[in-house]
Chains A and B, each alone.
Chain A
Amino acid sequence: MAELHLPPVLPPLFPGLPRELEVEAATVNEAIDRLNERWPGLRDRLVEPGPKLRPHINVYVDRERGGLDTELAAGSRLDVIAAISGG
């Protein structure tokens, strides 16, 4: 199980989605797939065709910057961060 932390912009879009939850996944990509199974459409919010992460979406695995292919170990912490920008 990986410990997943989501940005505050996501829960208002998907009823019942918490900011923090645990998922069983071997990679970041798989973790997003698991979320999408429970909250259809969520993958589109984080990933664009390629597949690749959207330009202002970043992921960190155990505090290290990662990508869709980054592996998750049991107990890994996965942070999904929306870049702070705009006005």
Chain B
Amino acid sequence: MSKSMLLVGTRKGLFVLDSDDRSDWSVRGPYCESWPIYHAVLDRDSGSIYAAAASEWLGSAIWRSPDLGETWEHSSEGLGYPEEDGGLRLSKVSNVMPAHGRLLVGGESAGLFESTDDGKTFSLLTTFEGQEGREAWNDPEQQPPGHLGLSAIIPHPDEKDRFWVIVQGFSLFETNDGGKTWEPRNKGLRRDWPADYEDIGFCVHKVTPASDFERMYQQNHVGMHRSDDAGKTWTEITEGLPTEFGFAAATHPHDRDTFYVIPLDPGHGRTMPDGHAAVWRTRDAGSSWQQLDKGLPQENAYVGVLREGMAIDAHDEPGLYFGTSTGQLYASTDEGDSWDQIGGLFPGITSVTVAEVA
């Protein structure tokens, strides 16, 4: 019988939660020497856990466990920018994504690395040389808070050389040649600030594709958006949500019209609006929204959820999981209709992913 495994990345290490029934969860960890974790995932092909971590003292590394957390090794060999690359400095690795037999790693300053030996060594794929806007996003005075650089990698499930990345604060990009060339994918997005470039300068927080990879949803700094052509064009679907701002989002694995998002106060607080914790769901691709708050604290819940902070599993009736930036972890096994707090109290949660393991 398979069991569910949650990988919970926090500001003080990685925690692993196991459950046979998605109801009772046991907690292991903290792993990775309690380094700050920015993202952690299970590679379904190799069975290894990978975690992107960055210590303020000891730098960035990709941690790998080949045995579901029992033992760990780490490497940063090749994770760094060459001197001639305009003085770029790798402050952190912010995203790790196994796909098609290789490991892709996003970093800040914005760059993309690749490993073809299970995370033992890395090589730099690109820092987007020649890309319009690169000068701006590498300018420290224009970098958004959080400094995640390349904040997401979204591989196409069938096409090895096709994937999308987010350069924080500037653009969603698509490549069809393994990272050699990039197309901005921001048409139709809104921006409420002056911009130096027509196609660049959009604050993309989170993009989650449906299983067909034609339908995509996007939480932007300003608004929720939907694409029906794999990100080539976007339509705003914010109406009906309490705010236009948020980070975490998830798409139903079996229903392209069902999507979840956690709206946040767009001011500096970036917490649940009015202290009322809720996940919002659409079942009609964004035409209407339902507030889901049963089991969640409904007053004085001034908590936030970061961009990798929500996950959805692949059960017939999918389970949803989200972790707050103050360390509470919530789960739903009825598609968001009701929620329970699970696991305990954690350090601030940066990343939640879920997998089924034998």
Contact = CB atoms under 8 A, between A and B. Distances in A.
Main secondary structure of the interface of A (DSSP, over half): loop
B64 to A, nearest CB: 12
A45 interface: yes
Interface in A40-58: 40-41, 44-46, 48-50, 54, 56-57
B57 interface: yes
A83 B57 contact: yes
Chain A CB count within 10 A is highest, among B33, B56, B61, B89, for B56
Interface in B55-94: 55-59, 61, 74-77, 79-83, 89-90
Contact of A82 (B57, B76, B79): B57
A86 B56 contact: yes
Given A9-B33, A12-B33, A13-B33, A48 B75 contact: no
Contacts of B77: 40-41, 44
B79 to A, nearest CB: 8
B348 to A, nearest CB: 11
Interface in A4-47: 9-10, 12-13, 40-41, 44-46
Contact of B57 (A12, A41, A49, A57): A57
Contact of B83 (A44, A45, A50, A82): A50
B57 A44 contact: no
Contacts, number: 44
Contacts of B58: 9-10, 13, 45-46, 54, 57, 82
Interface in B75-126: 75-77, 79-83, 89-90
B336 to A, nearest CB: 34
A13 B82 CA distance: 25
A1 B89 CA distance: 34
Contacts of A54: 57-59
A48 B76 CA distance: 11
Contacts of A41: 74-77
Nearest to A57: B57
Contacts of B76: 41, 44
Given A13-B74, A54-B58, A57-B57, A49 B33 contact: no
Interface of B: 33, 55-59, 61, 74-77, 79-83, 89-90
